[in-house]
Amino acid sequence: MLEIDDGRTYAIDQLSKRADLTSALQFHLGCAHHVTEWVEPAFRALMKIPFKDISREIAHLMGPDAFYILSQAHTAIRDHLNILAFYPSDPIESVRCFRPGRCTEAWVSQWWQGVAKHLLHPDSGKSGREILGMLEEVSIPGMCRNCQKENVDWVKQTGVMTKADEYFEGAVEQIVAAYGSRDKGKAAATAVEDDEA
């Protein structure tokens, strides 16, 4: 038994070093052979591939259940970002504002010109966290620092900018629950075998 375990560890170690071990193949092998420590990192790597670049081969290696979880998460994230881009957060005017009226205009304009563009960018949009960082660091044209701070703090507090991360983590949790522990991985595989029988 010890020798079998050693052989298994050796095989896993050697396979890990292969340049042709893609995330999709690693995920597939991890699920099929209960190499549970491969499942989560491989799935995280797959989630980071732009959805349009998920080839038929990748989808095939993932299997229908995991591919469904991945595609649902991507759809939820895209929908969320579109809605967030389209509806600027309601501007707050600080009681310490020294440019009444103009700061709220500046906020809405910054949203359309800056935030929305990053949220909707087809290839290299910023993440919500990066956008929050940007809003904190830049000096929004035409806006006083009191208003800027209160508006950015409000957006941060609502959690909308980190919602996409929650969808991402939710998908990872579902995968880990189905394949990520040695027992559950076996149970999932057995269930599939039973279905096929």
In angstroms, rounded to a whole number, what is the distance separating the alpha carbons of residues 91 and 74? 29
The count of chain residues that interact with Zn ion, using the rule CB under 5 A, is: 5
Spell out a b/e string for 31-49, using b for 16 or more CB atoms within 10 Å of the CB, else e.
Answer: beebbbebbbebbbebbee
In angstroms, rounded to a whole number, what is the distance separating the alpha carbons of residues 47 and 14? 25
Q: Does 103 bind Zn ion (CB under 5 A)?
A: yes
Convert residues 73-92 into a mask of x (bound to Zn ion by CB under 5 A) and - (unbound).
--------------------
In angstroms, rounded to a whole number, what is the distance separating the alpha carbons of residues 101 and 162? 29
Strand, coil or helix: what is 157? helix
Which of 115, 147, 164, 172 forms a contact with Zn ion (CB under 5 A)? 147
**31 vs 144 by CB, closer to Zn ion:** 144
**22 vs 146 by CB, closer to Zn ion:** 146
Q: Does 54 bind Zn ion (CB under 5 A)?
A: no
Q: Does 106 bind Zn ion (CB under 5 A)?
A: no
Q: Does 97 bind Zn ion (CB under 5 A)?
A: yes
| Residues forming the site for Zn ion (CB under 5 A) | 97, 99, 103, 144, 147
